[in-house]
Amino acid sequence: MTSLSRSTIDRREAEGLFPARIALGKNIVAWRFEEIIAWIDAQQPKCLGVLA
């Protein structure tokens, strides 16, 4: 959904700039859909205003 690489997500998550992951198993993680959508919305340039 974001087109960010795994290492970029890891780095931004550690910096508090990306939603925190949820561990579903030993090697399985996921993110809450609503948090990712909110993060994507927050990335929109302020000069564009509200997109219809």
User: pLDDT truncated to tens, each residue of the chain (52 aa)?
Assistant: 888 999 999 999 999 999 999 999 999 999 999 999 999 999 877 666 555 5
Query: How many domains does the structure of the chain reveal?
Result: 1
- How high is the pLDDT of residue 4? 92
Domain span at 37: 6-45
Is the residue at 51 inside a domain? no
Q: How far apart are CA 26 and CA 47, in angstroms?
A: 42
Q: How far apart are CA 20 and CA 46, in angstroms?
A: 24
Is the residue at 52 inside a domain? no
Is the residue at 33 inside a domain? yes
Is the residue at 32 inside a domain? yes
pTM passes above 0.85: no
CB 13 within 8 A of CB 19: yes
Tell me which amino acid residue 6 is.
Answer: R
Is the residue at 1 inside a domain? no
Is the residue at 50 inside a domain? no
